[in-house]
Amino acid sequence: MKTQWHLGLALLCACAVTAAHAGRSCEARPLTPQALEQGLELAQRMAQALDAEFVRSGARVVVLGRAGQDLSKYQLRWSHLGWAYKTTEGPWRVLHKLNQCGTGHGALYRQGLGEFFLDDLWRHEAVWSVPAPLLQAPLYAVLTDPARSVRLNERAYNMVAYAWGTRYQQSNQWALETLALAADPGVTTRPQAQAWLGFKGYQPSTLRLGPMTRLGASSTSAHIRFDDHPNAKRFSDRIETVTVDSVLDWMTRTGLGSAPQQLVL
């Protein structure tokens, strides 16, 4: 039986599967009752886990990932991340970047956990990492500031944007660059953010994509482009892009975040 929390959130999120996506198919599919139930259950359990973390450590910001697509052929488990923060009113909100379906444009969205987990997930699982204490206050200040939170957002969206380029930007890349913005007051531009990330040892994931795969993807999808990748890497089938897995690995390795924790229904 659904809890009152489920019922209330269902009313708020009945239309949560919108035309804004994080790189997944634009095919219109109705949200099934089972998917609705699972998404809300995952959101509820995630809220409970984050509240417990807040009580334990005082953390008000976490990096939160979901499994919206099957990326196992690239040895990746997670597809999309955002920044979850605890509001002064109590509930957690998620700030993340989404692609406007069918276009090469992206924008930032503030959503509740229910909306975040009702986006046609491949697996009803979540992963999160708690940024280090020294990052908590700076990140919270940036995420809750309407002007600073959008400072590094690039409207031109590319699902496989080059990790060290600025022509395009994808969802995970915005989240990572925003971490750099919060961590270093001297960072105010995307090139500066990427320089800071490189200095801190961030390493993007390398996807092995052959020429026919690249041609097929770029010719049929407005949000997939490869022309920002250096020719030497692109023509050797090495596509370097920001992934959830690489961000979590880097944060753990450098001590900028806790070891990832998973929630599986």
CA-angle at 101, arms to 193 and 61, nearest 5°: 40
Element (H, E) at 98: strand 92-100
User: Domain ranges in the chain?
Assistant: 4-264
Query: Closest Cα to residue 257, out of 71, 127, 149, 112?
Result: 127
**pLDDT digit string (tens) for the chain, length 265 residues:** 333 333 333 323 333 344 455 544 566 567 788 888 999 999 999 999 999 999 999 999 999 999 999 999 999 999 999 999 999 999 999 999 999 887 999 999 999 999 999 877 999 999 999 999 999 999 999 999 999 999 999 999 999 999 999 999 999 999 999 999 999 999 999 999 999 999 999 999 999 987 767 756 665 678 899 999 999 999 999 999 999 999 999 999 999 999 999 999 9
Three-state secondary structure call for residue 109: strand
CB atoms within 10 A of CB 134: 11
Q: What DSSP character marks residue 94?
A: E
What whole-number distance in Å separates Cα of residue 197 and Cα of residue 177?
A: 8
Supply the pTM of this predicted model.
0.89
Quote the CA–CA distance of 183 and 62 in Å, as a whole number: 14
